[in-house]
Amino acid sequence: MHGEVLSTEALTPHLVRVVLGGPGLDGFAEPGGADSYVNAFFLPPGAGYTAPFDDAEVRELPWERRPFPRRITVRAWDAATRRLTLDIVTHGDVGYAGRWALHARPGDTLQFRGPAGAWSPDPDADWHLLVGDASALPAIAGAAERVPAGVRVVAVIEVAGPAEELALDSPGDLAVTWVHTGTPYDADQLARTVAGLDLPAGRCCAFVHGEAEATRVVRRHLLSTGIVAREDLSCSPYWRHPDTDEEWRAVKAAWTRQLENDVD
Ligand SMILES: Cc1cc2nc3c(=O)[nH]c(=O)nc-3n(C[C@H](O)[C@H](O)[C@H](O)COP(=O)(O)OP(=O)(O)OC[C@H]3O[C@@H](n4cnc5c(N)ncnc54)[C@H](O)[C@@H]3O)c2cc1C
């Protein structure tokens, strides 16, 4: 499956909205939840081909010319107009997804598989906690839009600075606390911020996605304090500072197994 770039928009200095369309999206399945994502294939500079390409053929190429897979959340899918919206973080002229988004222009193409992933906020929860960084902002924004009217929603979101803060819409009673990334990177910052908030009582449905070490500390805090029950927590390490996605995926399974030792 592939889409053609119809438009790009800088939502913030480091977040680019890319809207895809075209006949290559025929058959795109309705995304199952707020965190549904596509596995997109970004081409390295000098690849010598463009999407759509044949999977089997590109597997024969030298590694440095193959497509680099990156997971990107479906920010929106409009089945009537067949428009797929992705919000992609740019973090310097590095990497494959971020760099592609930085330079994407109408007419460019992007090949992908999916969508997969089907988490959405539990409509029966007493309140919702949404925690993450800019990479999880598309899913957090989608989750905030899907809560029942009037229910409390507490969001704690880490972004590079004040210019990266984005207005979020919600039918719920939404309060967002923004956290700004410091130098050196501090993986405890999100958890410290959550710990300092006066949180609602009752059953919490929590979504904690983003940088791996930061999600780990938040997870430990939420479970060890009993703020959230395990079955009400969706936690996913999207990327790990300062690794590339290839470096992170090489150790992700072992890292995830260790999580079980974090909390009794
Ligand atoms: C299910 C899922 C959904 C995701 N949804 C989105 C999404 O909607 N939008 C989105 O932008 N990302 C999303 N991500 C995260 C994204 O896949 C990773 O951040 C990926 O590493 C970015 O690839 P890249 O090619 O730009 O950089 P890489 O080649 O992986 O990394 C290059 C350098 O940039 C650093 N880096 C990578 N990501 C970030 C970042 N977010 N902020 C700062 N530095 C970074 C790396 O540590 C490395 O030093 C999602 C991940 C998962 C697993």
Domain boundary among 84, 116, 148: 116
**Residue 22 CA: distances (Å) to CA of 18, 40, 88, 102:** 13, 16, 20, 21
CB of 70 within 6 A of ligand 1: the answer is: yes
Same domain, 94 and 156: no
Which DSSP letter does residue 171 get?
S
Q: Same domain for 50 and 25? A: yes
pLDDT digits (tens, 9 = 90+) for 203-251: 999 999 999 999 999 999 999 999 999 999 999 999 999 999 999 999 9
Do 14 and 136 fall within a single domain?
Answer: no
**264: pLDDT strictly greater than 80:** no
Whether residues 28 and 106 fall in one domain: yes
Q: Are 140 and 157 in contact (CB under 8 A)?
A: yes
User: Within this chain, do residues 256 and 167 fall inside the same structural domain, yes or no?
Assistant: yes
Q: Which of 239, 246, 251 to mutate to test the pocket of ligand 1 (most atoms within 8 A of CB)?
A: 239
Instruction: Report pLDDT digits (tens) over 193-215.
Output: 999 999 999 999 999 999 999 99
pLDDT in tens, 40-60: 999 999 999 999 999 999 999
In a domain, 135, yes or no: yes
Q: Are residues 216 and 252 in the same domain?
A: yes
Largest Cα–Cα separation, the chain: 56
Rounded to 5 degrees, φ, ψ at 117 are 90, 130
- pLDDT at residue 263 greater than cutoff 90: no
Q: Which two tokens stand for residue 120?
A: 């959405």
Secondary structure class of 59 (helix, strand, coil): helix
Q: Are residues 134 and 207 in the same domain?
A: yes
The residue among 51, 84, 116 that closes a domain is 116
How far apart CA 157 and CA 198 sit, in angstroms, is 16
Same-domain pairing of 160 and 222: yes
- Same domain for 137 and 112: no
Q: Which residues contact residue 120 at a Cβ distance below 8 angstroms, ignoring those fewer than 6 apart?
A: 32, 33, 34, 35, 143, 146
> Ligand 1 centroid to 111 CA: how many Å?
17
Q: Which two tokens stand for residue 36?
A: 């549904």
Does 172 map to a domain?
yes
Domain count within the chain = 2
Residue 122 forms part of a structural domain: no
> Are 23 and 83 members of one domain?
yes
CATH number of the CATH domain containing 90 = 2.40.30.10
Q: Which value, in Å, is the radius of gyration of the alpha carbons in the chain?
A: 19
The β-bridge relationship of strands 2-12 and 109-116 is antiparallel
Look up the domain containing 198 and give its range: 127-261
Which residue, judged by its Cα, is nearest atom 53 of ligand 1? 238
Task: Report how far ligand 1's centroid is from the alpha carbon of 92 (Å).
Answer: 12
Q: What is the pLDDT of residue 92?
A: 87
Question: pLDDT digits over 6-22, tens only?
Answer: 999 999 999 999 999 99
> Which tokens is 206 given?
């929590």
pLDDT at 133 over 90: yes
Q: How far apart are CA 192 and CA 180, in angstroms?
A: 13
pLDDT, position 25: 98
Question: How many A from CA of 135 to the centre of ligand 1?
Answer: 6
Where does a domain end: 116, 142, 165? Answer: 116
Tokens coding 237: 């390490």
Predicted local distance difference test score (pLDDT) of residue 18: 98
| CATH code for the domain in which residue 163 is found | 3.40.50.80
Ligand 1, atom 41: closest residue by C-alpha: 135
85 in the same domain as 135 = no
For tokens 């800088």, the residue is 10
Residue of 135, 159, 249 to test ligand 1 pocket, by largest number of atoms within 8 Å of CB:
135
Examine residue 24 and state whether it is found in any structural domain, yes or no: yes
**133 and 207 fall within a common domain:** yes
